[in-house]
Amino acid sequence: MSGSLELQGLRRTFGSLIALDNLSFEVPAGQVVGFLGPNGAGKTTAMRAIFGLTELDSGSVRWNGAQVGQAQRRRFGYMPEERGLYPGMLVGEQIEYLGRLHGLSAAEAATATDTWLERLDIADRRNSKVETLSHGNQQRVQLMAALVHKPEVLVLDEPLSGLDPTGIDAIGKVLIDQARSGCCVLFSSHQLDQVEDLCEQVTIIDHGRLVVSGTVDELATSGGRRLQVRIEGDRTGEWARHLTGVTVSEVDGGAVRLVLESSVDSDDVLRAAMRGGRVTQFSFERRRLSEVFREALK
């Protein structure tokens, strides 16, 4: 699989509320793209727009350069924010049914269902009703519903919410494997550490507008040098707050993270730190995704 999913100039308003404001970005095939933003930023609306579930005032969604229609969407997989399954239907039959709606034959749907049940370790629940499953297993079934037809594009709205670390690892591995096999993977999450671990690329939006977009490496190395400094007995980082061209980004358990402007000499910072006490750590660090997020939304 190759190609890309492009969102071009999406605009959607609900009365006076602007949910999407000329939003454009791209999800390349073979990559996991993290879709971030504060609550109400427009992530879910943008994802629903990909599937035609919300009407756009303007803009378009394109797959491999062509406008996305019903035929293309059958090759996409979707996991909505509010989970949706038939509670009283058997797990296996439900997945087969959704697979068939996505164009699989009955035999293909049955085989794919068995494969995914085994892979997500819930083969023993094939003949159970969805409503009898635990939250984590329902989440797995919902993911299977998006994966059963081997989609070319996978759009997942908060797939990791409410999962324990084992569940997060299992679903995270599936997302990476899908991308490695050439699928476009776009997923939203508020768990920034997981996003950093899983994604090659990140897109951050706010008030329906694109704020930042780039690879995790690009974002980690952009936005000024980062220093992490520890001084014995210092828990506030007050010593650094008066330094010119230096911003205290984060203070976490005595570790003070500083952002240095290009004109600042790090030796001057070290001397200032030594005046504050005994320096136990002085190291250059990568920019964390949480810092990218916070700084982008300032």
Please report whether residue 178 would count as binding another protein according to CB under 8 A. Answer: no
Q: Which of 28, 59, 80, 254 binds another protein (CB under 8 A)?
A: 80
Closest to another protein by CB, 129 vs 230, is 129
Which of these ranges, 124-132, 171-179, 202-210, 239-247, lies near another protein under the rule CB under 8 A? 124-132
Q: Which of 62, 119, 126, 207 binds another protein (CB under 8 A)?
A: 126
Please report whether residue 296 would count as binding another protein according to CB under 8 A. Answer: no
Which of these ranges, 126-134, 196-204, 219-227, 276-284, lies near another protein under the rule CB under 8 A? 126-134
Please report whether residue 133 would count as binding another protein according to CB under 8 A. Answer: yes
Which of these ranges, 130-138, 176-184, 251-259, 284-292, lies near another protein under the rule CB under 8 A? 130-138
Q: Which of 54, 111, 191, 215 binds another protein (CB under 8 A)?
A: 54
Please report whether residue 110 would count as binding another protein according to CB under 8 A. Answer: no
Please report whether residue 162 would count as binding another protein according to CB under 8 A. Answer: no
SS (H, E, C) 136-161: HHHHHHHHHHHHCCCCCEEEEECCCC
Please report whether residue 24 would count as binding another protein according to CB under 8 A. Answer: no
Quick note: the x/- pattern for another protein over 186-215, rule CB under 8 A, is ------------------------------
Q: Which of 84, 162, 182, 277 binds another protein (CB under 8 A)?
A: 84
Please report whether residue 70 would count as binding another protein according to CB under 8 A. Answer: yes
Q: Which of 25, 76, 239, 293 binds another protein (CB under 8 A)?
A: 76
Q: How far is the CB of 189 from another protein (least distance, A)?
A: 19
SS (H, E, C) the chain: CCCEEEEEEEEEEECCEEEEEEEEEEEECCCEEEEECCCCCCHHHHHHHHCCCCCCCEEEEEECCEECCHHHHCCEEEECCCCCCCCCCEHHHHHHHHHHHCCCCHHHHHHHHHHHHHHCCCHHHCCCEHHHCCHHHHHHHHHHHHHCCCCCEEEEECCCCCCCHHHHHHHHHHHHHHHHCCCEEEEECCCHHHHHHHCCEEEEEECCEEEEEEEHHHHHHCCCEEEEEEECCCCCCHHHHCCCCEEEEEEECCEEEEEECCCCCHHHHHHHHHHHCCEEEEEEECCCHHHHHHHHCC
Backbone angles phi, psi at 153, to 5 degrees: -130, 135
Q: Which of 41, 46, 144, 145 binds another protein (CB under 8 A)?
A: 145
Handedness of CA 209, 211, 217, 218 (dihedral sign): positive
For binding to another protein (CB under 8 A), which residues are involved?
A: 48, 51-54, 70, 73-74, 76, 78, 80, 82-89, 92-93, 97-98, 100-102, 106, 123-129, 132-134, 137, 145
